Structure 1
């Protein structure tokens, strides 16, 4: 429970599962386990109770880069919560392999790497310089579901 203890030391709480809008059915798992791997579906930022992050909209017009960095950090917590539910213990993650970050951008906003750093910085802080670094893309998109500012999917190695 090293990772869970580190989260507690940082004063961070893993959120409850996402509260989806009434009538919405998601026909896929949040985490797909495969021998030696876990593939994480796209997650957005959540509050501790599983509700959507309150800072919604486009980065560069509705939110600043710094606010979106916070949303990416909250997205990391949502991903960790799903991985914890699927794996039972976050210490089973032996390496972060790939992160794909999408940012809901206003026209002309091109600081997507700085936004997704909110996700990557937390992962590297928790897993350290050996298991935390990952390959990564950070792209801007015209829209994201529910008007969330950030969505991230990932792949991790597990024992």
Structure 2
């Protein structure tokens, strides 16, 4: 078992299946030593996590939705690489939060994903990031996050 797989087990985290693309794009692209993962929406075992921060969701619920995005990002990375130990750095997360115009805690929401990356990957999981508001997201979900990982050869 790989180091990261062991860490996931220690954290009692089971990765979901890597979600299939919902439109005309690929779930990931590897170029050089970088893995780009398309935006992953807030979806869990009970289906889509829908809502709008500042309207019908609070920061805690939004952070939980962002964590689900993070799990999907890691699942996509595993599908792309086979071995999560190939990840040498979480380079950047791009977080989009479905929120009202007066909601300003997008960074606290996206922390749900950022915290997961550090829990799973340790210092390698520390990353650059954006956390922005949007008036709506696909399928009415609360959060969407994309990622860039640095990787080593297989």
**TM-score > 0.5, shorter chain as reference:** yes
- Of 41, 45, 68, 2:42 maps to 45
Provide the alpha-carbon RMSD of the alignment: 1.5
Task: Give the TM-score normalised by structure 1.
Answer: 0.89
Distance 2:37 2:29 in 1: 6
Residue number in structure 1 paired with 2:111: 117
Counterpart contact for 1:19–1:52, Cα < 8 Å: no
Q: Deviations over 1:55-106 (max 9, x none)?
A: 3110111111000100111110001001101100111000011111000002
Counterpart contact for 2:18–2:79, Cα < 8 Å: no
Distance 1:106 1:16 in 2: 31
- Of 134, 145, 149, 2:142 maps to 149
Residue number in structure 2 paired with 1:9: 10
Residue number in structure 2 paired with 1:28: 25
Distance 1:136 1:98 in 2: 5
Give the 3-state SS of the residue equivalent to 1:69 in structure 2.
helix
User: Following TM superposition, by how much is the alpha carbon of 1:107 offset from its aligned partner in structure 2, in angstroms?
Assistant: 2.7
Distance 1:108 1:135 in 2: 25
For residues 92 and 103 of structure 1, do their structure 2 counterparts lie closer, same or farther at Cα, with a shift above 3 Å needed? same
Task: Give the TM-score normalised by structure 2.
Answer: 0.92
Distance 2:80 2:115 in 1: 23
Residue number in structure 2 paired with 1:105: 99
Note the residue ranges of structure 1 that are not aligned, 5 or more in a row. none
Higher strand share: 2
How many residues get paired? 151
Distance 1:135 1:42 in 2: 16
Matched, 1:90 2:84: yes
- Of 123, 130, 134, 1:137 maps to 130
